Amino acid sequence: MTTVGGKKVWVKIVPWNKEVATTALENGADAIMVESGQDRDKVKALGVIQVAAPENGDIVTGTDVVECEIKGQEDENKIISFARSKLVIVRTSDWTIIPLENLVAQTGNLLMEVKHLSEAKTFLGILEKGVDGIVIDSQNPGVVKEILNWVKSAASHIALSKVVIKSIRPLGMGDRICVDTCTMMGQGEGMLVGNSSAALFLVHAESIENPYVEPRPFRVNAGPVHAYIRVPHDKTRYLSELKSGDEVIIANHKGELKTAIVGRIKRERRPLLFIEAVSENRLVNTIVQNAETIRLTASDGKPVSVVELKEGDEILAALESAGRHFGHKIEESIDEV
């Protein structure tokens, strides 16, 4: 999904409304829900998007996803049972936070039907986790656009820490990856990359004017092929795995996150640089290309060229204690040095 944090955003169009369907497509909805196979064909004629429909839907309503209205405890139990094997769209005319908190705490696969932006904000924030997504039920294109724009622009957040440079030394040649995205980045923005998921350094985008090459604000010269990079859904991937059409996380110096689509990957053999830093007596490290145009990020968002880094300088990194298995965070004893 293209939303930050993996939240699904569907638009329900019952009865059919072409203007609402066009608005949904133009503003990044993840799926459109309709009431017939005929309406499914109308959506497909407008653009490429998943359609939930009872007849030939990409998502089959009644089978892959069910709708439930919550009125009491019996309905909660039914929803939890359904959610074990399928998506559940929850609807209520007289909602309170407590029943939904119970559902969110006990299960996943929940989509909440909303008619207004205030409801979307509430449901996506329950227990600081929120439901898995929302289904916008409105025949007003302005409301649909408002909710979609808010969800798409509402940034997730990660805690960034200052780490102190301990040593820097040149290495030999290696294959490094440039990640070219479909998003323009500004000062203080880049990607979280590192030798270990325990410390992902904020590598700055090539958005800075310099005498050597033209700025490329869509690019991060991220690091060598083995390095981890932060991607959506609180996961990491190897840089060598990325390809056109994948999604990566863009972070800024405040720890605000958004997603970007990979447009192109450039792998080239270049001289490398080993950077070691310390945080609270904990050693962390990363490897980057040895070039003036490669920059890490200071706490004020200022990009710092790796060739100008010196012992004692402070830069930003995302630190965590849990290990990773196939990119997923796990509580296990894993050391990566």
Q: What CATH class has 4-154?
A: alpha beta
Q: Residue 41: which of 24, 59, 56, 23 has the closest Cα?
A: 56
Please state, in angstroms and rounded to a whole number, the distance separating the CA atoms of residues 60 and 80.
20
- Paired with 215 in beta bridges are none
| pLDDT for 121 | 80
Query: How many C-beta neighbours within 10 Å does residue 320 have?
Result: 15
Residue 295 · residue 185 · CB < 8 Å: no
Question: What CATH number is given for 161-330 in this structure?
Answer: 2.170.16
pLDDT of residue 211: 76
pTM: 0.70
Give residue 297's pLDDT. Answer: 97
Q: What is the mean pLDDT of each run of 10 residues along the chain (337 residues)?
A: 60 96 94 94 95 91 85 73 81 62 70 87 63 89 92 78 96 97 96 94 93 89 97 90 95 92 97 94 94 95 95 94 52 54
Q: Identify residue 218 by its one-letter amino acid code.
A: F
C-alpha span between 134 and 206 (Å, rounded): 36
**pLDDT in the model for residue 95:** 56
For β-strands 156-157 and 295-297, DSSP reports them as unpaired
Long-range contacts, stretch 207-211, CB < 8 angstroms, 24+ apart: 208/295, 208/303, 210/292, 210/293
Q: Are the C-beta atoms of 231 and 247 separated by less than 8 Å?
A: yes
Residue 8 and residue 1 in contact, taking contact as beta carbons nearer than 8 Å = yes
- The pLDDT value given to residue 262: 97
Structural contact between residues 40 and 56, judged by C-beta atoms closer than 8 angstroms: yes
Fold agreement between 4-154 and 161-330? no
Question: Where do the structural domains in the chain lie, given as residue ranges?
Answer: 4-154, 161-330
